Amino acid sequence: MRQDVRTHAHDLNGALGVILASADLHVHRNGESEDNRAAFSLIMEAARKASGLVEKLAGAATADEAGMDSAYERDLDYLDRIAGSPDPVLADLERSGRLEEIPIVDRETGRLLEVLVAAKSAQRVLELGTAYGYSTVWMAKALAPGARIVTIDPDRERTQIAHGFFQRAGVADRIEIRNAPALDVLAELPEKSFDVIFIDALKEEYSGYLRLAVPLLKMAGMVLVDNLLWGHRASMQPSGSDADSVKAIRTFNEEFLGHSQLLATIIPVGDGVGVATRIR
Ligand SMILES: C[S@@+](CC[C@H](N)C(=O)[O-])C[C@H]1O[C@@H](n2cnc3c(N)ncnc32)[C@H](O)[C@@H]1O
């Protein structure tokens, strides 16, 4: 998509996000009259609709553009269009992520997580890196009855916001938040107790997470990992000035694909998603 269209769409979505957040505040504030709540609900609905239209306009601009980046981008736009909009809480999470520059998984990655968690009929899911809970909500929507997610993030401010989104999505009772570094929590969890483990925390620690996570997986359990293409940087020619995160992701990818206890692949979805199952 043209950079100016992308920037305007981003800014406009940012402004709509502010309107949405302040209307949301009034809808949930004690002491507001019923009339006020109703009015602010209407404002929220209009802002959501407008944000959907911005995305459609940006999509149309992309499709219309003669110099489109590639057929691959067109494919992605097409798939996103036919998949339909995510539910309102996920759409609000996407806006919050954009507005506050919180890195969250791409929408197509969220959909993939949802499908895989459902396909595994997962009873116990472990997530490393909660942020505002976007990926958590995608997975929680797919949980079998009685199933649980443990999600780890040392940032309490972020996970408080995530908890609010979990309540709004009606999944808070299925999610346990642990506010500690993932390496500490992983070391305390029982072996062979998780059906799915999703890794999306510090890139420099990915190898350490994998080492501690594999024993926690049940046999045939899945380990899923985000950011394995790391913004197109992993595939670039290695150089002495590469950031530590880039070096860490490259090392991790080789360990992941060559892991003796896993059958693993990396799919170029979103920012590159690792998908593996425990075979030993
Ligand atoms: C990429 S974000 C997670 C995004 C989230 N999975 C989503 O898609 O909505 C990474 C998160 O890892 C958290 N983090 C940082 N250090 C961590 C650690 N040592 N253990 C676990 N999480 C950590 C950060 O606070 C941040 O919220």
Residue 97 covered by a domain: no
- Same-domain status, 117 and 188: yes
pLDDT in tens, 194-233: 999 999 999 999 999 999 999 999 999 999 999 999 999 9
Query: What pLDDT digit, counting tens, does each position of 66-83 carry?
Result: 455 688 888 988 999 999
Q: Do 140 and 267 fall within a single domain?
A: yes
Q: Whose CA is nearest to atom 11 of ligand 1?
A: 129
Same domain, 63 and 152: no
Element (H, E) at 149: strand 148-152
Distance 203 CA to ligand 1 centre (A): 10
* CATH number, position 153: 3.40.50.150
Residue-wise pLDDT for 9-22, tens only, equals 666 766 777 777 77
Q: How far is the CA of 145 from the centre of ligand 1 (A)?
A: 26
What is the per-residue pLDDT for 66?
Answer: 46
Rounded mean pLDDT of the chain?
A: 90
Say if 65 falls within a structural domain.
Answer: yes
Q: Quick check: 167 and 191 in contact, CB under 8 A?
A: no
Whole-number Å distance between alpha carbons of 233 and 216: 30
Ligand 1 in contact with 158 (CB < 6 A)? yes
Q: In this model, does residue 189 exceed pLDDT 60?
A: yes
For ligand 1, whether the C-beta of 129 sits within 6 Å is: yes
pLDDT the model gives residue 231: 96
Residue 102 lies in a domain: no
CA 278 – ligand 1 centroid, Å = 24
The answer to whether the CB of 177 falls within 8 A of the CB of 225 is no
72 and 113 in a single domain? The answer is no
- Ligand 1 atom closest to the CA of 103, numbered from 1: 1
Decide: helix, strand or coil at residue 257.
helix
Q: What is the DSSP letter of 176?
A: E
**Containing structural domain, residue 159:** 107-278
As a whole number of Å, the CA-based R_g of the chain is 20
Residue 218 lies in a domain: yes
Overall average pLDDT of the 46-57 stretch? 74
Question: Rounded to 5 degrees, what angle do the CA atoms 235, 271, 149 make?
Answer: 135
Q: How many domains does the chain have?
A: 2
State whether the beta carbon of 154 lies less than 6 angstroms from ligand 1.
Answer: yes
Do 164 and 263 reside in the same domain of the chain? yes
